[in-house]
Amino acid sequence: MPVLKIHIDQRFDDAVRERGQTLIETLSAVLVGGLAADPAKCQILLLPGAMVSPAYPLYVDLQFRANSRRGSAQIDATLARIAGILEAQFHCAIRLRAFALDESMLFALDHSPEVPQ
């Protein structure tokens, strides 16, 4: 946590293939700086879609654990930085949403399969 999901219209598939890893690294640095996130816990997903929205070919969903360091000013600034990075890469309109999750209502499991000996 935080989790940044970016739904990207298929017209940008080539750009994502070419620059996806650099984009992930850049966005990870934004999450670390803007949300004081642990780099090892940042999750960024670039998700292709047939048509996200005619008006907004990119849809961004940011989920993060609520805490005192993540007020509206920090979230607004982080969303603005994400928007700027994505606009520079894709030159299109972007819809961004952020959701603070209450720690007491967050349930998680990191599963790793057992490796046979």
How confident is the model over 31-68, as pLDDT tens digits?
999 999 999 999 999 999 887 788 999 999 999 999 99
User: What is the arithmetic mean of pLDDT over 15-30?
Assistant: 97
pLDDT band of residue 106 (cuts 50, 70, 90) is confident
Using 50, 70 and 90 to split pLDDT, how confident is the model at 90? Answer: very high
**Which strand (E) or helix (H) includes residue 35?**
helix 13-35
Using 50, 70 and 90 to split pLDDT, how confident is the model at 89?
very high
Length of the chain: 117
First-residue to last-residue Cα distance in the chain = 32
Across the chain, what does the average pLDDT equal? 94
**Fold category of 3-104 in CATH:** Macrophage Migration Inhibitory Factor (3.30.429)
3-state helix/strand/coil string of 54-107: CCCCEEEEEEEECCCCCCHHHHHHHHHHHHHHHHHHHCCCEEEEEEEECHHHCC
74 CB-near residues (< 8 Å, 6+ apart): 34, 35
pLDDT band at 30 (very low <50, low <70, confident <90, very high): very high
